[in-house]
Amino acid sequence: MGTGSPLAGDSPVPEDPGALTEETRRALAEDPRLGLLDVSITLRGHRALLTGHVVTRDRQQLLAAVAAEHLPGYEIDNATTTLEDIGEPPGTGEELGAGR
């Protein structure tokens, strides 16, 4: 009966990018050196784009290293920001009426 069911093929099942992203996201949150819950990981082609705010340059570098461990074969594009990238707010503030 033909060549058999497509379910019976012996080629390896490609890794689901969604599952890979989620596994990496969990690793970044649960790694005691990082504790990062808000880094976004976008996989496009052979690149992995990381975005979010990670406070320090050390954490930024560690983030890239941990992500690379979990995303073998992907080129890491680390676009996260740190505290060094921000400053004091301009002006003297937003005026809000506070009448009860």
32 vs 73, beta carbon nearer other proteins: 32
Examine residue 56 and tell whether it contacts other proteins (CB under 8 A): yes
Q: Which of 4, 1, 44, 38 is CA-nearest to residue 20?
A: 44
Dist. CA 12–CA 69, nearest whole Å: 21
Q: How do strand 81-82 and strand 75-78 relate by DSSP bridges? A: unpaired
29 contacts 52 by C-beta, under 8 angstroms: no
61 vs 75, beta carbon nearer other proteins: 61
Under rule CB under 8 A, how many of the chain's residues touch other proteins? 30
With CB under 8 A as the contact rule, the residue among 23, 27, 53, 78 that binds other proteins is 53
Footprint on this chain of other proteins (rule: CB under 8 A): 32, 34-35, 37-38, 40, 52-53, 55-56, 58-59, 81, 83-84, 86-100
